[in-house]
Amino acid sequence: MIAAMVKFVRVAFCTWVIAFGPNTQAADTARLNVRIVDASGELTAARAWVEVQGKRFFQPLQPSTAVAYARDQSFSCDGEFGIEVPAGTLHVHIEKGKEYFPIDDVLVLESNHTTDHTVQLVRWIDLTESGWYSADLHVHFGQQDPKILRQLALADDVNLVPAFSYWLRGREESWRDNWPDASYLTPDIVDTKHVITRNNIEIERIQANAIPGGSVGATFLFNLKKPILVSEFGEYFPTDAALGKLAQSMSPQVVLDSDKPAWSETVVGAALGALDTIQICHNHYHRNATLNGGWGMIGPIAAGESNSAEGDGLFHRTNGLYYRLLNCGFHLGVSGGSAIGVMPVPTGFNRVYAQIDGPLTADKMWTAIRSGRSFATTGPVLMLSANGCLPGESISVRSANGQSISIDIDVQSIDLLEGLQLINNGNVISSLNLQTEKPNPIIHRNMHFDLAPNRSGWLAARVIYRAPDGMLRQAHTSPIYISVDDQPTAFADDAAYMLRWIAILEEIAKTQPARFPSAALQDRVLAVYDAARRVYQKVLSDSRQYWDD
């Protein structure tokens, strides 16, 4: 999330509905009525806009249930809409998440006439058939109105929509200790393949002009039994890790997600077991552009690092920090989120898919997401297996036996791709060039690789491609973890990097006592940083003891 954009949120939540009557049509305008149907001819919810001479129209005249989202200049609807637009040639765009072909129809409308048009959406893949369900782990839109959330789930085809009920920034007079009512604790079943929840909180403490490492960052808390409540809080205390541990004690099934790996206290939460997942398909990836990082994010700490979108700096920083955390032995799944309500993207533009057994439930999804049985994506579908194991699982091998691991990767996409890559301990060890592949109607490729690991670590797959702004995007699996001779995963360079990171946080906290209302609170934060530092010192020691780093 971006604190500087908060003032616009109320606007983003508005629904624009204009009454339509038989005599309201202006000269040189036309009426367009659209029905959106599925393969069986039944109405189906979708997202839409109409474009005329480069201008988007996204405020339908009817029905009143259609919900406009101004930031994305689009609207969701239950399957039909009427809209008034300038007469002439126009483009009608209809989409329904990631698993349907988007449609762009060109029509010519006569002035003062009504045109009826039917659009049939076609699936190119149905991941629920193999137990894979999607979730958007960053939703700030419609949390006070379940009807809107239900429509978003269906129109953008997001199987789990967990909206944030509270958005805490450390500047409140008090933190609420309960949900508005009991319904917030119960998942809202939309249908057999879609569910919404509202027992979720974002704690975002970000300052737009903060120095590197100067903002705490943003952590998401999902599936809470009750809101977390502390008697003393502010923009710099308690640490996100302390709040995460508190949430775990109050709600054992909570899922703790980091908005981005570069937030300053991600390093602390990962070390202390106060994070389950990290968003690598995050809210800075928009339809046509990539938003720079900053706002107090850590670093750069090593040569060549950047939080800038230019030169794919943010992409490589996001992945690189995630890989470094994995190289310290932490089990952290990937996740994804759009930040609809704040960012100019629809629900599920960035999302995570998790595999579950049997019918969909919110509890099953949270268990799968927490365990890393997942992949994150802004588009392509990516599958990984190794010796029959899926992401989130572990493989044990003995070096004396010369055992190898048989790895298979499968990618499907309706968009152009650049390359399919196998990542081992942060390095690309095998790749497949896909730049000459053309969707017909999809791209479907797979890759096999045999790996003989020489130390404990992990492997993951990613497929990269270019967004309209030329910047890199991806689909990325959670890791499969590898244990060699039952020894720990530990890399000296990555542990030393994290120790430099912790030192920056400690220096800021020690030299800026005004951040804290008392020396006791300052000491409490420093104690948490010290606990994380000792974890990385152990990783560094292990890397030398077991792997001669």
- Domain span at residue 498 reads 492-547
Residue 47, φ and ψ in degrees, nearest 5: -110, 145
Q: Examine the domain organization and report whether 154 and 278 are in the same domain.
A: yes
Q: What Å distances lie between residue 323 and 334, 457, 504, CA to CA?
A: 11, 10, 20
Residue 12 pLDDT greater than 50, yes or no: no
**Of 66, 99, 120, which residue constitutes the final position of a domain?**
120
Q: Examine the domain organization and report whether 463 and 369 are in the same domain.
A: no
Predicted TM-score of the model (pTM): 0.94
Q: Examine the domain organization and report whether 238 and 340 are in the same domain.
A: yes
CB 27 within 8 A of CB 309: no
Q: Quote the pLDDT of residue 27.
A: 58
Q: Examine the domain organization and report whether 172 and 284 are in the same domain.
A: yes
- pLDDT tens by residue, 35-83: 999 999 999 999 999 999 999 999 999 999 999 999 999 999 999 999 9
Q: Quote the pLDDT of residue 26.
A: 52
- pLDDT tens by residue, 342-391: 999 999 999 999 999 999 999 999 999 999 999 999 999 999 999 999 99
- Cα separation of 507 and 417, whole Å? 43
**Of 85, 120, 155, which residue constitutes the final position of a domain?**
120
Q: Examine the domain organization and report whether 214 and 328 are in the same domain.
A: yes
**Of 378, 408, 440, which residue constitutes the final position of a domain?**
378
Whether 285 is covered by a domain: the verdict is yes
- Cα separation of 216 and 363, whole Å? 29
Residue 507 pLDDT greater than 90, yes or no: yes
Segment 237-251 mean pLDDT = 97
User: CA dihedral in degrees (165, 171, 172, 175; nearest 10)?
Assistant: 60
* Both tokens assigned to 275: 């994070």
Q: Which helix (H) or strand (E) holds 316?
A: helix 313-327
Q: Examine the domain organization and report whether 308 and 168 are in the same domain.
A: yes
- Cα separation of 64 and 78, whole Å? 10
Whether 127 is covered by a domain: the verdict is no
Whether 31 is covered by a domain: the verdict is yes
